[in-house]
Amino acid sequence: MHEQKVIEGVKVVTYKVPQAYSVYIGIWIKAGSMYEDKTINGMSHFIEHMVFKGSKLRSAKQIAEETDSIGGQLNGFTEKESTCFYIKVLNTHVKQGVDILFDMVFNPAFKEEDIQKEKQVIFEEILTELDSPEDVAYNLLFKTIWKGHPLSFPVLGTFSTIKRISKEQILNYYNSHYTKDNIVISIAGNFNEDIYEILQKHLSKIQKNNTTLQLTVPVWHKSTAIYEKDFEQINLCIGLPGITYDLRKVYALAAINNAFGGGMSSRLFQKIREDKGLVYSIYSYPSTYQQAGVFSIFASMNANNFKKVYSLILEEIEKVHLKGLEKEEIDKFKEQLRINVLMDLDSISSRMSTIGKSKLLLDRVYPVEEILNIIDNLTYEEINDLAKKILNPTDITISVVGKLNKRDKEWLINANNT
């Protein structure tokens, strides 16, 4: 069972796993591309990199060496709505692990020479992403759907925005986001009660800032975007308006996704890959945010198969929109969803992430029993009503990355405008 506390004005959520040997300690911050404007796009991710470059007490090398000396694992990641830093340590090394993590995150050096060096690292990361057709297609899809809104920004930023970032801008963004009222500490694993005293010592030093982060609701744009690049395959992304955070709808949509394109027994995989052999990769995926959501479908194929694949995906969308899903499908994928929730309990890192992100974005942590109860009580009609609403071909936005011939390009644009 999870436990929630407020220590020194900071929300702390924990989940004890007595049979484990390790502890995951996570710091979650409301800092991501969603909170940026176009002049500082990529700032959240850049700061995530910079805190690993050293604090005012430890160099980057000392952070690495101290972490290794206790067998710890230190990492971080940035998403559209959050940044997370975490350390995994043996339960006998919690004090040292917390000390390293909090010093790194809340006492960064931000040296000018490190800023310039790390810009080169980010440039390489952007180049790597540009070599991934799937990443390019998804970034183009979000840019097309939410033109100009922060949700449309790439998490990594762009060459021009990263190049222009100054130390002053870094400090301004850091000081307004890395504050007591904008963070959550999540801990999962085998820990003792003295962890709260250890946390109090560190949390008391974090600054408070009552600035409320304002989020604006994005407007959905139906459009078709084509980016010509010399990839081996055509990479297709289809986006449909999704949902915001609502637990019943989140799990209803998860069941819909599993049935439609979320796995090897889904409709898309079985019909287009297994039966027709037209693609290697095809799947659907729901992305949910505080102000909007998107249900996306991705497929990569030989250019000669593009029209067939697109038409077959559209056919499946229209089938669900008109008739919904079969009761047998819903029963099967509800049970799969239930099993996935239970199996996730075996992962301590998953527990740390789930409780931390939920507390940060929703200000609530849902017990597993409540989640299972929601899944069990989702009705056939409720799931199908949502499926018919989400899988609506009139709201399609498309991105295509690759060498599409002129005839197929014109056909696609005309098809999506009708």
Give the residue numbers marked as catalytic. Answer: 48
Distances (CA, A) of 158 to 13, 41, 115, 139, 290: 35, 7, 16, 11, 24
Contacts of 68 (CB under 8 A, 6+ apart): none
Q: Tell me the C-alpha distance between 230 and 402, whole Å.
A: 6
DSSP state of 274: I
Q: Are 231 and 401 in contact (CB under 8 A)?
A: yes
**DSSP string computed for 164-209:** H--HHHHHHHHHHHSSGGGEEEEEEES--TTHHHHHHHHHTTS---
- Residue linked to tokens 């909090």: 102
* Nearest-10 Cα torsion for 186, 189, 195, 198: -60
Q: Work out the angle at residue 136's Cα, subtended by the Cα atoms of residues 150 and 266, and round it to the nearest 5 degrees.
A: 100
Residue 232: burial class (beta carbons within 10 Å; 0-12, 13-18, 19+) = exposed
Grouping H, G, I as helix, E, B as strand and the rest as coil, residue 48 is helix
Q: Which residue has the tokens 């006492």?
A: 107
CA distance 138 to 129: 11
Give the DSSP H or E segment for 355. Answer: helix 348-362
Tokens standing for residue 291: 């102000």
The closest alpha carbon to 31, from 61, 76, 1, belongs to 76
Rounded Cα gap, residues 73 and 346, in angstroms: 19
